[in-house]
Structure 1
């Protein structure tokens, strides 16, 4: 019996060691993700994020599980949707589908652009939430003449997609420092950037815009999340009060029982 327990403990210890080793290895291969601001309750931010999504993302990426008229939940009227967010041939009750041809996109980029409806949930990992990943990813593009698109990304090296927001951000170059690692000299990202050409937004404004876009992607992945959280808080309060009543009822029921 003792040998069996010892064997299981050894297997468990090996599994945990491999898990932590893999996580540490994955962490060392990429940069740390920045914490995304939580803007899922800010209607003005969500509305701006929806506008950015339609103008800069929907050209290539669909959101096939989201309908345009659902944007009324974040305070955009049906008329505003028709006037500002719909393409000419789209209707307000239709889903958000990209106009790009999937086969042409694969030829141009080497892969079919993925659907973004659930991307804020599917991209979660050891580095943080899906929102953290997207927030860091959209802020770490840089020019790279060795790539077919002319762009690269620190979070997603050799990414097939060029920077969709480059007009807003401008062109930047990451700053590296040479350090000694395992007896060899290596270049490590310092967390700083050199602005090559300015964009239409300042760096602070750009970070805020990306926060709005990521907040919208979070909301789109689960439009009912804020309602779920709000109802959940009331349910927990109700259960807490119920425990008190049940406890007193139990005490009253058993007080005469010896």
Structure 2
């Protein structure tokens, strides 16, 4: 049974895309919340890193979340024995393609990739909606489908936490049929934390960049004021 569950979790997500327009729930998380980022990192390595790599991210970068090197080694390192190693999936890509028909995509910049279509927050909103929209579907090979990504190739990796949803064909809304380990509010918060980590992972220095940007703008305003004052002083006797 355990091997079967692992195989389901490792089934590929063929692509993070959907052809139809869908309603996206608003992600309310933040990359400034270290506790949320740490929790999201824990969820990521336990539920996503089994199959989806983050091969542009090194484990030592997780220390930027306020964790010590030993905490990272003890709690978050499962695919490398070196703190400087990449967060790569243990299975080889050619084996994954042979087992599942396609190689599961790398998730390092998935939030940024989903947000490039004119809306910077769309990537986080889509991930937040997608991860909460799985439902049981006996017509699918994995037994799962998703309202945000119809006929998705990946089963619900968080089903033990969320429980099992079904789609009401009359109202076209999802209903919880089997309760999970978490309440709805707890699960929504867990998914929000996971999305926070994936948003942060796409650009770990984004908060520093924003802060530096404000300092640069402030410096330019000050430079303009000084330059304008010097210009007035220089030209006052000529006019």
**Taking structure 1 as the reference length, what is the TM-score of the superposition?**
0.80
- The aligned runs of 1:8-47 (5 Å cut-off) are 29-47=20-38
Question: Between Structure 1 and Structure 2, whose CA radius of gyration is higher?
Answer: 1
Aligned residues: 221
The question of whether the paired residues in 2 share the 8 Å contact of 1:66 and 1:220 is answered with yes
For residue 171 of structure 1, what is the aligned residue in structure 2?
164
Q: Structure 1 pair 203/108, CA: closer, same or farther in 2 (3 Å)?
A: farther
Of Structure 1 and Structure 2, the greater strand share is in 1
SS of 1:29's equivalent in the other structure is coil
Does residue 1:160 correspond to 2:141, yes or no? no
- Give SS of 2:94's match: helix
Once the two structures are superposed, the pairs formed by residues 40-119 of structure 1 within 5 Å of their partners are 40-87=31-78, 90-119=81-110
Output one character per residue of 1:152-199: Cα deviation in whole Å (capped at 9) or x when no partner. Answer: 111111111111111111101234546xxxxxxxxxx4xx43111011
Deviation at 1:109, TM superposition (A): 3.3
Which has the larger helix fraction?
Answer: 1
Partner Cα separation in structure 1 for residue 99 and residue 146 of structure 2 = 18
Matches within 5 A, 1:170-189: 170-177=163-170, 189=172
Shift of residue 100, structure 1, vs aligned partner: 2.6
Deviation at 1:126, TM superposition (A): 5.9
Residue 44 of structure 2 aligns to a residue whose secondary structure is: helix
1:19 match: none
Matching residue of 2:13: none
Structure 1: give runs of 5+ residues left out of the alignment.
1-25, 179-188
1:244 is matched with 225
Distance 1:61 1:69, change over 3 A: same
Deviations 1:106-155 (A, max 9, x none): 24433210111111111123675211111111011111110001111111
If asked which structure has higher relative contact order (CA below 8 Å, sep 6+), I would say 2
| 1:215 has 2:215 as partner | no
